[in-house]
Structure 1
Amino acid sequence: MDSAAESLSKRRLRAWIRLLGVTRHAEAQLRDYLRREHGTTLPRFDVMAALWRRSAPVPMGELSRMLLISNGNATDVVSRLEAEGLALRTPSSEDRRTVLVALTDAGIAAFEGMAEGHEGEVDQLLGTLDGTELDTLRAILRKVSPGRDRE
């Protein structure tokens, strides 16, 4: 490998390490916020967010694929949400083997309260970036993660 390519390789590695550090810090801050302010966990928030975005019942298997988690983890989180009256599971009318899950009205209200605060936390975490920098960051991340950007 020539020195220019090696240098670029090392710079990519340093960028990856920085990206990982920023991600871990932000995730720790958000976990702490959700635990402290809402008595919940990030996985619960993520499940509720996925269900809220869809606004229609979602098959359990699809939910786990959407969140890149195991079926067992999705089932555990949904079971706890259902026990608290925040989610409801129903069998599919088309295929009895398929279970659909959706937020209840109480789940929607709870999520929307959490989401507002979550947005504020993310705003603080990224508060040093202006609009142009945010657009640039998103464009860079889109280049290394094609097909994963939902906006």
Structure 2
Amino acid sequence: MTTDPIRETDDEARALARRLIEEARFGALAVLDPQTGFPAVSRVAVGPGPEGGLFTLISGLSAHSRALGQDPRAGLLLGEPGKGDPLAHPRLSLQLRAHPLPDTDPRRAALRARWLADHPKAQIYIDLPDFFFVEFEILAGALNGGFARAYRLTADDLT
């Protein structure tokens, strides 16, 4: 008989997952390659908007941008490995839906300012015509809070 390794989600798990989202400045973004159907993974910058949420700034020339244009479903792995065993550190795998933010969105100016505060080196490319913001709609998550601390989280748990 096997034991389910997933623990019942509690407030501590919710808080850890939310902290991983709020503090993340990069992550591994998984998309579905429209030509092959296979997963493709890229490292992307991420961060919160001025009122929360989770965003990325991507180039329309990138493979992951084209993939999201075909299928907005994505995965995002957050969490920084510290010293020692990288599997001993908390990480969060999110299921997402990507929504490109139109240039006319009234939140864009505040988002741009927040982005530059968190990612100052983006100043050199943020206004290039092929770059745009994408808002991630968080659908669900899987939290590994360290050894024997696995949780499944809903969208409500994560927002």
TM range (shorter): under 0.3
TM-score of the pair, normalised by structure 1: 0.27
Greater relative CO, 1 or 2 (CA 8 Å, sep 6+): 2
Q: Which has the higher strand share?
A: 2
* Structure 1 or 2: more helix by fraction: 1
